[in-house]
Amino acid sequence: MRNMNYFCTVKRFGRLITLAIICVISLISNEIYAVNNVQPSKADNDSIEISLLTCAPGKEVYSLYGHTAIRYNDKAKGIDIAINYGMFSFKTPFFIPRFIFGLTDYEMGIIPFDAFCEEYRYEDRDVIQQVLNLTADEKKEIIKAIETNYLPENRIYRYNYFYDNCTTRARDILLNNINGKIFYSDNQGSYPSYRDLIHAFNEEEPWARFGNDLLLGVKADKPTNLKEHQFLPYNLMHDFEKATIKDYNGKSRPLVIAQYKVVKCPDNSQSRPLVIAQDKVVKGPDNSIYTDSEGFPLRPSTCAWIIFCIVLLRTLTEFVLKKRFMAFDAILMTLNGCVGLILFMMFFSKHPTTSTNLQIFLFNPLSLFYLYYVIKRKNNNKENYFWRFAIVSLIIFFIGGLFQDYAEGTYILASSLLIRCISKIIRKKNNDK
């Protein structure tokens, strides 16, 4: 009996030892599993680079101001892609009218980084990469945000040139997922207006500038703030260059840890645009100025002076010969009214900066309404009323120049039309005597 108890005791002890050994082995196995699964995750994050890509301006009107994208480079997994918020197609029905009225839809696209670089290399446009100084958690959050953004229901967005474009989208998805506050070394509080900012890039494209200035209204001449002026790719790049991140523990680190060109085009002026800062113009990365000599040879102001001379000569000829050139008036009123009709429709555009455009007092759509009475002379009172109304409208246009920057040559056009209107009033009075 005693031997049996002894045997049972030994047997129980052996089970306890066995159970203890199993527990130890289990703990060791869990530790090994944790090491094998957690540590590679950290290593993976260390192998990931997220960068801001800034592309130089191109020759096309839509590319004059450059472009912005994001690079995601996972060296461990061999994934290297460019995230692009500027995908669109000219084949979209009514693309140009939709763009003018702020109804254009852009799409987020993801392509291999090599293909992205090849496209810009083919267009002779430099691409500058800024590697961001991000923590593992920040990289994870940015990746998650990009994946969410790329869902079919999220990747298409309503594009707005100043407020929601390819640059602001890239900036927001990066900065909104950083654990801290961004401080910019050159934060001036107030920056040039939207009009002045884009003038820095279309200086050598006078007709593109003329079209922009013709459609933009009073709101485009108000000073911008730090966030607003970053709608231009090169402005955002320069702000990122010296920016710092201050985390919630009070520690600071630079936002950018490396900056270099991933696409470098030799002797290429397209890659060196101007960047406006407050009260000064800062040259591009290579200290050169963006120039392009191609395009229509005459500037808008030159064409305006030609029209002025034609109007003046026609008006003097009428007085000398005592004749009336009705076809000439019809051409002037038709052209003036058609441009005015476009400006009138821009009041209903989704672009906030196109409303309240005082240039409508020069390009007046009511010219089309009075065209019949002026040419056919069916109602002399209405014809006379139109010329007086046009004079008042042109005077308001000149006064409005105190509040809005007008398109190049419009003062000259207004002067020529004013001469024409005054001559009509004078002739009417002479005929009544």
Helix H, strand E, coil C: the string for 3-23 is HHHHHHHHHHHHHHHHHHHHH
What distance in Å separates the CA atoms of residue 235 and residue 156, rounded to the nearest whole number? 25
Q: Which tokens belong to 288? A: 């050169």
**CA separation, residue 309 to residues 140, 212, 318 (Å):** 66, 26, 14
Crossing angle between the packed helical segments 300-321 and 206-215, to the nearest 10 degrees: 70
pLDDT at residue 276 in the model: 41
Helix (H, G, I), strand (E, B) or coil at 129: strand
Burial of 151 (0-12, 13-18, 19+ CB in 10 A): exposed
Q: H or E segment at 171? A: helix 166-175
pLDDT at residue 340 in the model: 94
Pairing of the two strands 252-254 and 156-158 = unpaired
Residues 6+ away with beta carbon under 8 Å from 59: 123, 270, 292, 294
Nearest Cα to Cα of residue 363 among 413, 329, 326 = 413
What distance in Å separates the CA atoms of residue 385 and residue 387, rounded to the nearest whole number? 6
pLDDT at residue 294 in the model: 58
| Residue 195 contacts residue 220 (beta carbons within 8 Å) | yes
**Which parts of the chain have pLDDT scores under 50?**
1-43, 269-293
Helix (H, G, I), strand (E, B) or coil at 87: strand
List, for residues 25-51, the tens digit of each pLDDT value.
343 333 333 333 333 344 456 789 999
What distance in Å separates the CA atoms of residue 9 and residue 3, rounded to the nearest whole number? 10
pLDDT at residue 17 in the model: 46
- The predicted model scores a pTM of 0.78
Residues 6+ away with beta carbon under 8 Å from 243: 182, 183, 184, 185, 254, 255, 256
- Number of other CB atoms surrounding residue 302 within 10 Å: 15
pLDDT at residue 279 in the model: 41
pLDDT at residue 272 in the model: 43
pLDDT at residue 101 in the model: 72
Check the CA dihedral 47-52-55-60 and report its sign. Answer: positive
pLDDT at residue 286 in the model: 41
